[in-house]
Amino acid sequence: MGGQACVLYGAAEFSRDTDFAILAEETNLVCFKNALELLQAHCIAVPPFERHYLETGHAIHFRSQHPEAKGMRIDVMSRLRGVDDFNLLWERRTTFELQGFPIEVLSLPDLIQAKKTQRDKDWPMIRRLVESHYIQNKSNPTELQIRFWLQEARTPEILTSIVLQNPSIANELSENRPLLKIVSTGSIGSIQLKLNSEEQEIRSIDQSYWNPLKKELESLRHQK
């Protein structure tokens, strides 16, 4: 669900870790623990590897000591802010194949939703993910793809082109994304300002979400 997923979708990102969204049920956590043992991976920070912390929304961090993956960090979450429950994520997943092995990845819309955080590095990646998808499909897009671009595109020029070509869909979606109302008549600069404002609003929501979780982590560190 992180940088490795972005690479698979064609928006390259250098990543020193691998992020997973997992189902926080006892039988699945036992399987995951067995996989960690094979990787010789150990929990490297708070919180500890317990179901309660996954269900609360925390990330749990591990470091692999296996010779073929030595030093690789593994971050695991089960609940993501603004993202649907795991069962829906699994139904919508995308399957890639690498060297004959299936790799299950968050769907592109779900990955983008998961990337809407307060971190600076996530927003350029959202832009690149949508740009890559647009370039690959713009010659003959489906209505579903057009709706996706209108909801998530962060490139003023691309957004303007899509709105001008699909005014009725843009008007419909503007109820949930108000900046679409000014795209057809606004300058590139004014659209970018609206995009920046939209980003800051989402960053603030994410910050508010994480504040109590960070306090809990700080308390756990003091206890440790």
At residue 112, does pLDDT exceed 90? yes
Residue that is written with structure tokens 């399957």 in the block: 95
Handedness of CA 219, 80, 51, 35 (dihedral sign): negative
Query: From CA 193, how far away is CA 221, in angstroms rounded?
Result: 40
Q: Tell me if the pTM is above 0.75.
A: yes
- Confidence at residue 178, expressed as pLDDT on a 0 to 100 scale: 95
9-29 pLDDT per residue, tens: 988 767 778 999 999 999 999
Give the amino acid at 112: I
Q: Could you read off the pLDDT of 44-101 as tens digits, one per residue?
A: 999 999 999 999 999 999 999 999 999 999 999 999 999 999 999 999 999 999 899 9
Calpha distance 177→194 (Å, rounded): 11
